[in-house]
Structures are given as C-alpha cells and as structure tokens.
Amino acid sequence: MTKKKGLGRGLSALLEDPSTDITTRNEPVTAAPRSAGPIGTIPVAQIEPNPFQPRTHFSDEALAELAQSISELGIIQPVTVRKVGYDRYQLISGERRFRASQLAGLEEVPAYIRIANDEAMLEMALVENIQREELDAIEVAISFQRLIDEVKLTQEQLSEKVGKDRATVANYLRLKLPPEIQLGLRQRTIGMGHARALIGVSDPAKQVELYHRIVESQLSVRAVEDLARTALPKGMKSSVKPGLRPNKDLSKMLAQRFGSKVSVKQSTEGKGKIEIPFKSEEELRRILGVLG
C-alpha cells in the first residue's frame, strides 16, 4: 500500500488502522480526545465540514483576504480534524482556514489529527471558538447552551472549560431577547453590556423600543441601565443593579503611577474601591514605597 504523502513516520500506518476509525469501532470513544500523531498533510478532498460548527456566519471579504494570505505564505496554523474512516476526516476547528484554502486552490492542508467521538468533537469545537473570541454573542450563548444540554456540563464546569466566570456564563445563557435585538448583537450594533440591561426589562415590546433608542442615540450602557429601570411597571424592581463600574481612565493613570495593574470601580453616587494586586513581598514593598 502506498504511504500517504506528507505524513510523519508511523502516522500513516496508525491512520490506516481500522481500530482508529470511529465509524468501525465496536465501542464509542469515551476517553478524552487524543492525538493520533504529529501534524499530517491531508488532501482537501478528504476533509468534510464540521457538523457541529458553532459559527454560522463567515465574511466573504475576510475569507478572500485570508485566501490571498494563504496563497502567498501558506497555512501558518494547521487545522484540527478527526478521523472518521479510511481516507475520511472531519474538521474539528479551523473552518475559516479550510474554506480559505479551498478558495486559494490548495490540494492539501496541514492538520492535527485527533481521535474523538461526537461529544468530544462538539466540546472541542465550541470551546476553541469561544476561547479564540471568534463568535458573536448569540453564537456564544447557543454554544454555551449546547455544551450544557449535549455534553451535560454544569454552569460551573462550563465556566472552567471556557475560562469565564460563572456570572458571565449566566449572562450569555439569559440572552433570550427578541429576534431584532439578537440580530443587533450578531452584527455587533450593540454590545453585551446593552444586552444585559435589556434583559432586565420583562416586556419584549419595551426591549425593542429601548434597542431602537440605543442604536439611534448611541446610548452608553449606563444610560440604558437607567432607562431599563424606569421602563419597569410601578413597584417592580429591576434586575439591573447600579453596582460599581470600572473607571478605565483613572485605572490607566494609576497604573502608570504605580507601574502595576490597578483596578478602579466607582458607582454613580461616587462610592468605589481601588485594587492594586501584587505577586510578591518585593512588589508590595515597591507599591508601598510609591504610596509613601
């Protein structure tokens, strides 16, 4: 049998082994996804799209630019695939690179080859996209819900896997807003801060009304939070709490003064706190020296 071109020594033999085909194994792969070897060069024609791809929108212009870059420089970051049969692979991650490679006319692409069942593949695809911040807010929300429903993760386990705190995860999971507002989030017309404020309004019609005011008047998140509180029926409390807001300008100024990261949070009433983290006794003494 002819050895596959471009694969590392020993890798082609492993990939030709039927025991590594998830389509022919007697039992499903239940262990954590594992690598089938080093990077291999795989024919584009043997790679199928990812059926669990969380991204639903790919910019034609951006793909064309990436295709041009690939034509000139090649693929710098290999795609990741899983083996699903002899000479058959499915993308786990790197669909933009894969699509751009097709546009560039490449016949082969470098790839990390993994052995993973459907559940592990879904988890890897979603987590990588979320960590790379390539998804819009609604895609993130859908991905979080799929990880909870299909991978059976708790919110705490999910927050650990994607590297976000539980409050952030909870906010994404609450993004059950009218379609018009969801479209605004997907197109990044409004941000997550605006969306969190709108979630506090129970009436969908009021949410849409506020959304139009945000877009037309370019309202800040704080202004929307104030409007969200006044939009509630009399006697009903808003789920949007005033709380403390980051003061980025003051944080930046103090960071330059202390030569260290500084966090300043302040409420609309003027109350707040300043946090200066330190990693050692020496750094603490230096900060104390600046304070005098």
pLDDT digits 0-9 by tens, 65-95:
888 988 888 888 888 888 887 788 888 888 8
Cα 177–Cα 178–Cα 180 angle in degrees, nearest 5: 120
Query: What is the rounded CA–CA span in Å between residue 67 and residue 106?
Result: 10
Compute the residue count for the chain.
292
Residue 272's beta-bridge partner residues?
266
Query: CA–CA distance from 218 to each of 78, 200, 252, 269 (Å)?
Result: 40, 19, 25, 23
Q: Which tokens is 202 given?
A: 């129970």
Residue 273, helix vs strand vs coil: strand
Q: Is the pLDDT of residue 19 over 60?
A: no
Contact of 250 with 212, CB cutoff 8 Å? no
pLDDT tens-place string over residues 181-223 = 988 888 888 988 899 889 888 888 888 999 999 998 888 888 8
Active-site pick, 48, 95, 119, 225: 95
Q: Is the dihedral of CA 182, 95, 116, 25 positive or negative?
A: positive
**H or E stretch at 225:** helix 221-230
pLDDT tens-place string over residues 94-133 = 888 888 999 999 999 999 888 777 777 777 777 776 666 5
Burial of 162 (0-12, 13-18, 19+ CB in 10 A): buried
- pLDDT computed for residue 221 by the predictor: 87
Identify which of 228, 233, 162 has the alpha carbon closest to the alpha carbon of residue 195.
228
pTM: 0.51
User: Torsions phi, psi of 26, nearest 5?
Assistant: -70, -30
Q: Is 95 a catalytic residue?
A: yes
**H or E stretch at 81:** strand 79-85
Residue 96, helix vs strand vs coil: helix
Query: What is the rounded CA–CA span in Å between residue 56 and residue 137?
Result: 12
Task: Please state, as a whole number, how many other Cβ atoms lie within 10 Å of the Cβ of residue 114.
Answer: 21
